[in-house]
């Protein structure tokens, strides 16, 4: 009976031209997963799922909402997919878990079974599968027979990119998004304006890009007096922004845009002097060519408040899925507010006794505008100076872990990016001979070992995220950007996935797994930093 059935089904398969999954040859290789899943079991030296024919999805799976989303996620992760087959070997089922990003995988020679707590778990499940592709004993690509149960500790796992200081093209941004997705990072914090350039097209304020996106030259990052004489002109059109947002979404990444308010405003004020404190002595805004903190801050006036409403409204439209919008708030000097009669009159009108209250006014105003637009506000930790900061404001703690603790103790959700450990513009130690590859000094030796070891524990459950900030004053091109980002991005991803779970993998173990990712980095032609500090592809600038 059994034999008959088998013969019958084989005949049926041949008749329809469909070959059901053949087992792979035995697999002795173990995938080097980063981040390591919480639970991972592999049946060693057993056949796994052979990938030579791609992954087939039957009609029912191809037409179900979950199935379609899984097919898209697997394709985005690089798998060859065959939907609409009469017989498939992909099954996607819901699982019960409090964390919507929780997923499970059960791989047998016949089937890929994905369990997900919510659709947002699919990108991570797909990327674990992509990282798990190994070779069987015949050298064919295959997934090992394995069982994975996994979920992240933190919901915001991010990288901040700074195209304001040095442009990063749409193409390169997309490349970086795929790299982030590979390591299950799910937030790109996009620093779209600063003193040295305004990079996002805003229809209502065309001079922001017509003027604010251009500077005649840039300072050397060590010797500020030395200028390179190379003009910079760069911005993302709204179509560019939509393209990047959609691409990120296809990889499970949400982009959080940042508009700096009220400081780091040289480019904005150069474009629209009405935004600035025009009556402060020596007022002469320009798009900055140097690095640092500059005195041009927004003026507390009707023009500025309308500008903020208009710009944030356009930004919200361009980033429909961003649950929170970053309003900057860092490093705001008070010089101009002190010397501007109009700013002083504004203080008097509101009975403010200190200039810091003008910044607090801006913070409250932004929170109110964003609330009307249906979004939450996130800002650098300086926004905590505002009394009665709305409880739902998210604090991005950059100055220290102490600031993160204060934010948490005041009941705010916190995203950790302390400068001591998560600023990837700082040096990694072991620098190559060409000083081009040197990072900023001040916090040195921020290598992957340091990142994994850095103590980020805060009790109370208020930490929702962790990210690395890749400030680009010292990063003029992708060659250097890649060197500064990779492989530190992997350590960040592992740390954010585990946060302070006691099962965090040991650093030694991480180093071994990291080496196995070099071929992946090479496949993207990344100029990554090797263990001895040398850049992979280009030894000099």
From the CB of 481, what's the least distance to ligand ACM, in Å?
Answer: 17
From the CB of 469, what's the least distance to ligand ACM, in Å?
Answer: 7
* Residue 365 or 398 having the CB closest to ligand ACM: 398
In the sheet that holds 23-27, the strands lie side by side as 23-27, 46-50, 141-143, 134-135
* Interface mask toward ligand ACM for 370-399; x: CB under 6 A: ----------x-----------------x-
Report the alpha-carbon distance of residue 67 to residue 80 in Å, rounded: 15
Known catalytic residue at 412: no
- The DSSP annotation for 52-103 comes to TT-EEEEHHHHHSHHHHHHHHHHHHTT--EEEEESS-SEEEEE---SSTT-E
Known catalytic residue at 288: no
Placement of tokens 């592709």 in the chain: 133
From the CB of 329, what's the least distance to ligand ACM, in Å?
Answer: 9
* Residue 339 or 420 having the CB closest to ligand ACM: 420
* Residue 105 or 327 having the CB closest to ligand ACM: 327
* Residue 352 or 398 having the CB closest to ligand ACM: 398
Report the alpha-carbon distance of residue 257 to residue 12 in Å, rounded: 54
From the CB of 292, what's the least distance to ligand ACM, in Å?
Answer: 11
Could you give the angle at the alpha carbon of 123 between the alpha carbons of 117 and 125, nearest 5°? 65
**Of the candidates 37, 34, 152, the residue with the CA atom closest to the CA atom of residue 98:** 152
From the CB of 383, what's the least distance to ligand ACM, in Å?
Answer: 11
Q: Which helix (H) or strand (E) holds 125?
A: helix 122-131
* Residue 147 or 399 having the CB closest to ligand ACM: 399
CB-hemisphere CA count at 13 Å for 485? 27
Binder of ligand ACM out of 111, 149, 331, 335 (CB under 6 A) = 331
Number of residues that bind ligand ACM (CB under 6 A): 4
From the CB of 413, what's the least distance to ligand ACM, in Å?
Answer: 18
From the CB of 160, what's the least distance to ligand ACM, in Å?
Answer: 9
Q: Give 472's contacts (C-beta < 8 A, 6+ positions apart).
A: 161, 162, 163, 164, 165, 166, 168, 425, 481
From the CB of 345, what's the least distance to ligand ACM, in Å?
Answer: 29
Report the first-to-last Cα separation within the chain, whole angstroms: 71
Coil, strand or helix: which one is 24?
strand
Q: How far is CA 55 from the centre of its chain?
A: 29
Known catalytic residue at 264: yes
* Residue in 58, 85, 162, 194 annotated catalytic: 194
Handedness of CA 469, 471, 477, 483 (dihedral sign): negative
Query: Phi-psi bin for 473: left (phi > 0), alpha (psi -120 to 50), beta?
Result: alpha
Q: Give 487's contacts (C-beta < 8 A, 6+ positions apart).
A: 448, 514, 517, 521, 528, 529
243 is a contact residue toward ligand ACM (CB under 6 A)? no
From the CB of 471, what's the least distance to ligand ACM, in Å?
Answer: 7
Coil, strand or helix: which one is 464?
strand
Binder of ligand ACM out of 279, 310, 330, 392 (CB under 6 A) = 330
* Residue 58 or 258 having the CB closest to ligand ACM: 258
From the CB of 327, what's the least distance to ligand ACM, in Å?
Answer: 12
Phi–psi pair at 245, nearest 5 degrees: -60, -45
* Residue 201 or 258 having the CB closest to ligand ACM: 258
284 and 304 Cβ atoms separated by less than 8 Å: no
195 and 266 Cβ atoms separated by less than 8 Å: yes
Report the alpha-carbon distance of residue 344 to residue 431 in Å, rounded: 49
Cα 48 to Cα 22, 43, 75, 159, 514: the distances in Å are: 9, 9, 20, 35, 24
* Residue 117 or 168 having the CB closest to ligand ACM: 168
Q: Nearest to ligand ACM by Cβ — which residue?
A: 330
Residues forming contacts to ligand ACM in the complex (CB under 6 A) are 330-331, 380, 398
Report, as residue numbers or ranges, the catalytic residues: 194, 264, 331
């Amino acid at each position: 009976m059994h034999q008959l059935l088998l013969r019958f089904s084989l005949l049926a398969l041949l008749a329809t031209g469909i070959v059901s999954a053949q087992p792979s040859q035995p697999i002795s290789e173990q995938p080097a997963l980063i981040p390591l899943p919480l639970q991972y079991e592999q049946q060693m030296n057993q056949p796994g799922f052979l990938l030579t024919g791609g992954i087939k999805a039957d009609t029912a799976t191809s037409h179900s909402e979950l199935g379609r989303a899984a097919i898209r996620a697997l394709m985005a992760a690089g798998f060859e997919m065959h939907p609409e087959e009469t017989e498939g070997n992909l099954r996607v089922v819901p699982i019960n878990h409090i964390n919507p990003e929780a997923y499970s995988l059960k791989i047998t020679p016949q089937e890929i079974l994905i369990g997900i707590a919510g659709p947002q778990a699919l990108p991570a499940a797909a990327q674990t599968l992509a990282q798990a592709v190994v070779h069987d004993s015949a050298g064919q690509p295959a997934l090992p027979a394995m069982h994975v149960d996994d979920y992240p500790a933190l919901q915001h796992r991010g990288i901040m990119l700074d195209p304001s200081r040095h442009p990063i093209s749409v193409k390169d941004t997309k490349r970086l998004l795929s790299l982030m997705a590979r390591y299950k990072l799910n937030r790109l914090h996009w620093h779209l304006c600063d003193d040295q350039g305004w990079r996002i097209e805003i229809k209502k304020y065309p001079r922001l890009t017509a003027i604010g996106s251009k500077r005649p030259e840039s300072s050397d990052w060590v010797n500020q007096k030395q200028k390179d004489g190379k003009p910079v002109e760069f911005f993302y059109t709204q179509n560019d922004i939509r393209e990047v947002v959609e691409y990120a979404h296809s990889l499970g990444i949400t982009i959080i845009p940042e508009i700096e308010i009220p400081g780091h405003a040289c480019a904005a004020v150069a474009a629209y002097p009405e935004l600035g404190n025009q009556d402060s002595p020596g007022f002469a805004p320009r798009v900055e060519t140097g690095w640092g903190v500059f005195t041009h801050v927004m003026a507390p006036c009707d023009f500025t408040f309308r500008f903020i409403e208009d710009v944030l409204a356009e930004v919200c439209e361009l980033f429909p899925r961003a649950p929170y919008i970053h309003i900057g708030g860092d490093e705001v000097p008070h010089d101009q507010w002190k010397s501007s009669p109009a700013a002083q009159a504004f203080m008097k009108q509101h009975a403010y006794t200190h200039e810091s209250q003008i910044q607090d006014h801006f913070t409250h105003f932004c929170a109110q505008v964003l609330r009307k637009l249906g979004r939450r506000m996130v800002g650098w930790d300086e926004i905590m100076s505002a009394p009665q900061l709305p409880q739902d404001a998210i604090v991005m703690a950059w100055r220290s872990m102490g600031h993160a603790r204060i934010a948490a103790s005041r009941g705010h959700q916190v995203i950790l990016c302390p400068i001591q450990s998560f600023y990837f513009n700082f040096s990694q130690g072991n620098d190559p001979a060409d000083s081009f590859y040197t990072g900023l000094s001040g916090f040195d030796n921020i290598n992957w070992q340091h990142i994994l070891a850095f103590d980020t524990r805060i009790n109370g459950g208020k930490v929702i995220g962790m990210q690395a900030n890749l400030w680009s004053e010292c990063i003029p091109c992708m060659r250097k950007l890649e060197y500064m980002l990779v492989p530190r991005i992997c350590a960040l991803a592992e740390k954010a996935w585990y946060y302070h779970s006691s099962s965090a993998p040991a650093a030694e173990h991480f180093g071994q797994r990291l080496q196995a990712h070099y071929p992946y980095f090479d496949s993207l032609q990344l100029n990554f930093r090797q263990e001895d500090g040398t850049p992979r592809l280009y030894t000099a600038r």
